[in-house]
Structure 1
């Protein structure tokens, strides 16, 4: 039996779950104003972010009953949202991919969800919005710390071809996750081009994270002044999230700044990037300024974080 306050803690977690699902509008098992259940939306999300998944793999990762998942897959197939291809190794199992209609449907669902969250945040003061997202980052960091499995993450220096990979992956990830338009891809391309043109090996660096020999993340250390280093373009691929890749990249970037003699470090991020903000906070960065702006097709709140080295 739970003791020493555990009953109160369990009740608090369950109460928060009930409150937040009500806020998200999923008590009726539908996500916001969409025609999809929460489970259907989760399946769509996985298919939109990962190529050629097996149905069984999705079921295992999302904890869905096989019969329920089968009904979701059948519904998606009938609506023309997916294609099903028998696996060569097991003809009883299917590999799933989104059709063009499926990707359009997900994009609309994703944008709707983003707009609903934006509307919720818009009703809050800047301070309350920051408190809310920081609390969410704390929850994610604590639970991920307990549940994530160790992985062999290798960090290497950039080489020919990596800048194109960074630009492509950054643009695709933020378009899929947040609906950012192509102007963000232009910004990333400008940053990467400038990094290569003015690269100072003694003061700057780019690290590419690999898992199993495959690139899954990146980060840049860039000179701002002789004493101030800038952290830029932290990115972790969806399939590698939860493996500690983001933390490893940030820690390496901070260590690299120290080794190069910088006294302080700064970065610019957005209030909606909750997971990244959690990593920055746990690494020792402090939020020093916020400023609303309209970029990449959306109203955002830019944040400046700094730390002493």
Structure 2
């Protein structure tokens, strides 16, 4: 019995050493031990707070502190510094006058966009050094780590590149969802299949991309960004499944696509949607898109009002 206990302790010690070794390797690999993250003016904590401000709709400092488990005083000093630098503005919360709603200014959004581009380039370079099969192994392992160490009962939603079968899922899910929710006929599924097929056959990975949202290990949403011209990108096939609503996946997908479009050098992002798609239209509006045209039409077995929306980058 004593020998077994020693072996167990030895095994646990090996596991702890492996985890600590991985932590040392990965933090050094990403450069987070440096005083400033990726040659930016921000520390890792400051960059993480900027991320929360960019991906939440007017959060309070308390909400950010709870999410990141930060000391209130430390967080308050960072928030004040952002305000002094003109990166954010504060307004009293209607729900609690003791709290302030925090919103990035144009300068703050620009600072975050630059940091996001640097991060995107850093990770892109790291992945580019690996062959496709090894990249899949790496990202799958990261997803497993995130899921196993999540404090809640389920892993948080993630955005990833499509795997074999995912684009077929996009077509099937669009057809089933829009038939059930809006009575669209099979011609809509045919249109989705055409768009998805063109993407698979001839997309340019450097300027076009598909994102699959995953929640609890299953597909939960999709979005495509495709080239319209050298200066204009198009958003297509935004979907969030009913089971995955409430996690702001639609907003996260759109934000990710906008960031990628900026990184690619597009000057404008455009999209075509329908007036009845209220939730999607709200996401576009909150992301800064402007409606620039409407047109009644008969499509997919329904009388609809098509809308064109644009975002200047």
The TM-score, its normalising length taken from structure 2, stands at 0.51
How far is the alpha carbon of 1:84 from its aligned partner? 0.8
Match of 1:183 in 2: 227
Match of 2:74 in 1: 68
Does 1:120 find its partner at 2:142?
A: no
Across the aligned residues of Structure 1 and Structure 2, the Cα RMSD in angstroms comes to: 3.9
CA contact (8 A) 1:209 1:215 kept: no
1:81-128, Cα deviation, whole Å (9 max, x unpaired): 111112234333211011111111111100110101111222333343
How far is the alpha carbon of 1:23 from its aligned partner? 0.6
Match of 1:135 in 2: 141
Distance in structure 1 (CA, Å) of the matches to 2:122 and 2:183? 38
Match of 1:251 in 2: none
Which structure is larger by alpha-carbon Rg, 1 or 2? 2
Equivalent residues in 2 for 1:1-309, closer than 5 Å = 3=9, 5-144=11-150, 147-148=152-153, 157-158=177-178, 159-160=181-182, 183=227, 188-189=235-236, 191=237, 208-209=241-242, 238=252, 297=264
- Look up the SS of the partner of 1:5 in the other structure: helix
How far is the alpha carbon of 1:130 from its aligned partner? 3.0
How far is the alpha carbon of 1:35 from its aligned partner? 1.3
- Look up the SS of the partner of 2:241 in the other structure: strand
CA contact (8 A) 1:48 1:106 kept: yes
CA contact (8 A) 1:30 1:38 kept: yes
How many equivalent pairs are there?
A: 191
- Which structure has more relative contact order (CA 8 Å, sep 6+)? It is 1
Distance in structure 2 (CA, Å) of the matches to 1:186 and 1:140? 32
How far is the alpha carbon of 1:160 from its aligned partner? 4.2
CA contact (8 A) 2:240 2:250 kept: no
The TM-score, its normalising length taken from structure 1, stands at 0.52
Stretches of structure 2 lacking an aligned partner (at least 5 in a row): 157-175, 189-207, 212-223, 254-262, 266-313
CA contact (8 A) 2:59 2:102 kept: yes
Q: 1:116 to 1:52 in 2, by over 3 A?
A: same
Distance in structure 2 (CA, Å) of the matches to 1:88 and 1:74? 21
1:183-230, Cα deviation, whole Å (9 max, x unpaired): 3996653x57xxxxxxxxxxxxx873257xx6657xxxxxxxxxxxxx
How far is the alpha carbon of 1:297 from its aligned partner? 3.2
